Amino acid sequence: MRKLNLLLACLLITMLVALTTGIAQAQTPEQPWKGKTVTVLVIAEGPKAGISGPFYHFREEWENLTGAKLEIAEFPFGELHEKIFTDLTTGAGKYDIFVIGTWEYGDLVAGDWIVPIDQFYGDPRFPEWPKDLAPSVELLYTWGGTWYGVPNDSDGQILYYRKDILTDPKWQAEFKKEKGYDLPVPPETWDQLYDITSFFNGKDWDGDGEADSGISMHLKVGGQGMFHFMSLSAPFVVLPGDKVDNVHNTYWFDFETMEPLINSPGHVRALEFLQKLAKTGPDAQLGWTLGEAWDYFLRGKAIATFSWGDVGSLAQDPERSKIKGKLGCSILPGVYEVYDRSVKDFVKLEKPNVVGNTTGGTWHGVISKLSKNPDLAYHLLSFHATVEKSRYYAYHGWEGVDIGRKNQFIEPYGTNTIEGFLEAGWDKNDILEYNKAYYDNFYAKTILPYLRIPGAFEYWTSLDQHLSEAMTGALSAQEALDRVAEDYRNITERLGVEDQLRYYRESMGYAGQ
């Protein structure tokens, strides 16, 4: 009887184990979200272009993994903001994920419209991704220490130049004869860059029988030119310091009054310099879009440009570029004199004031509070953020995802190696230059503050419009920026000075005097 009881007990245990295992398997099927759908709202660039392209690229793989369906809703750049907030304020909830430019955070956080993702991180149901963004970039994915975004893009602007020309002994000798000092490679100050671009402008330095240019920029209204002014002006305006206060590490507004600083002497001097620098490039720049300015440099017609990471990647494309293997890259130049608000004058430094930047969209996904499947939405974004996908995007420039994560940077700056870049077709010189320049930029001691308060893009649109008035000569630099400042006051008053000041302080990490 004891043996029979023991046998029955063993049989019962076996049945319970089988039943429990079956339940566990039923709860964690191979396709746990089968039959569900997640919809992404993203900038309209198509299946084979920046930011939207990766969602098409890995859609089939992700759908097979999860059993879910991915729908992609594309809208032009100028319609994104309206589409996002119409969906939210009407309660429509059409979109689970918004792929945003980081300037949207103020409006989204203020309205409590997006889902914190800390609750999902580390959950074994989701793909793992390392929190390995450069600290300056990580700030753009968080608010008040809480993560809302999942790593994707890392925007910042660096200087690109023709290393082959600037290191040519013939041109070095002629430059020294004309300018009286050795040609600096790379230039450490904006004045040095101006000397270089003015020296080469109008000369046939590439030997094709045609005169070439010094600089290539895009200055058309609506073409994102205001971003480039921000990056250029940073060292004229942002005084280094150990904390954020009304004198140090500030750029946009006064932390006590919300009075705009955009027409300060530092900003004005920077715009006057930009006006001068533009004259070392073609007149057509006034009507160029971003892509046109890139292509002019990539075709070998300008000695320098400054822009996003796309330029380095596109330089490797033989169908678009004639300069593969000829690229020089560096953090943007600095200046010796920076405006000091405490003394209301420019102060001279012993070394150039070099300021890194996170200028641009740093495009990435956030989850709508109206999403019916936030866990599925997070799975999609975390799948996109894995080391495997992150490195693929670093190697291939077509998808518009620029480097800024440790797993993308080459040793000794990160954990990646050069082999993946070489296999993807990069020139060894170009990737080494590019890798160091972006590391230096994102890990710079001083970083241009990024504006993320409600209405951020409205402030920037005003800047874009009035910059054009200065660049075309319709207004002086001071007059143009005075108009921007007046627009800023009006925007702030309409949105509420006290609210705007609170969000500005929070977003900048200002702790008070």
- How far is Cα 408 from Cα 392, in angstroms, rounded to an integer? 9
All structural domains of the chain with their residue ranges: 37-154+361-425, 158-356+453-508
Cis peptide before 186 (omega within 30 of 0): yes
- How far is Cα 13 from Cα 9, in angstroms, rounded to an integer? 6
Are the C-beta atoms of 320 and 291 separated by less than 8 Å?
Answer: no
User: Can you name the CATH fold of 158-356+453-508?
Assistant: D-Maltodextrin-Binding Protein; domain 2 (3.40.190)
For 321-345, write each residue's pLDDT tens digit: 999 999 999 999 999 999 999 999 9
- How far is Cα 211 from Cα 247, in angstroms, rounded to an integer? 45
Q: Look at residue 48 in the predicted model and tell me its pLDDT.
A: 80
Are the C-beta atoms of 339 and 287 separated by less than 8 Å?
Answer: no
Q: Calculate the dihedral angle through the C-alpha atoms of 482, 485, 489, 494, rounding to the nearest 10 degrees.
A: 110
- Res. 20 pLDDT band, cuts 50 70 90: very low
Place of tokens 């080469």: 200
For 111-136, write each residue's pLDDT tens digit: 999 999 999 999 999 999 999 999 99
pLDDT at 299 over 70: yes
Of 250-254, 348-352, 392-396, 408-412, least confident by mean pLDDT is 392-396
pLDDT at 10 over 60: no
Q: Look at residue 29 in the predicted model and tell me its pLDDT.
A: 58
Of 5-14, 184-193, 236-245, 394-403, least confident by mean pLDDT is 5-14
For residue 53, which of 396, 360, 388, 421 has the smallest C-alpha distance? 396
pLDDT at 74 over 90: yes
> What is the residue-averaged pLDDT of the chain?
92
pLDDT at 9 over 80: no
User: Can you name the CATH fold of 37-154+361-425?
Assistant: D-Maltodextrin-Binding Protein; domain 2 (3.40.190)
- How far is Cα 331 from Cα 160, in angstroms, rounded to an integer? 9
Place of tokens 């005003």: 462
The first and second tokens of residue 488, run together, are 């800023």
Q: Look at residue 3 in the predicted model and tell me its pLDDT.
A: 33
Q: Look at residue 220 in the predicted model and tell me its pLDDT.
A: 86
Place of tokens 């920037």: 460
pLDDT at 431 over 50: yes
Summarize the confidence of residues 98-110 as an average pLDDT: 96
pLDDT at 6 over 60: no
- Res. 498 pLDDT band, cuts 50 70 90: very high
Run of H or E residues at 307: strand 302-307
200: which DSSP letter? H
The first and second tokens of residue 428, run together, are 């060894």
Q: How far apart are the first and last CA of the chain?
A: 84
Give SS3 for 291: helix
- Res. 46 pLDDT band, cuts 50 70 90: confident
For 358-388, write each residue's pLDDT tens digit: 999 999 999 999 999 999 999 999 999 999 9
Q: Calculate the dihedral angle through the C-alpha atoms of 475, 224, 106, 131, rounding to the nearest 10 degrees.
A: -140
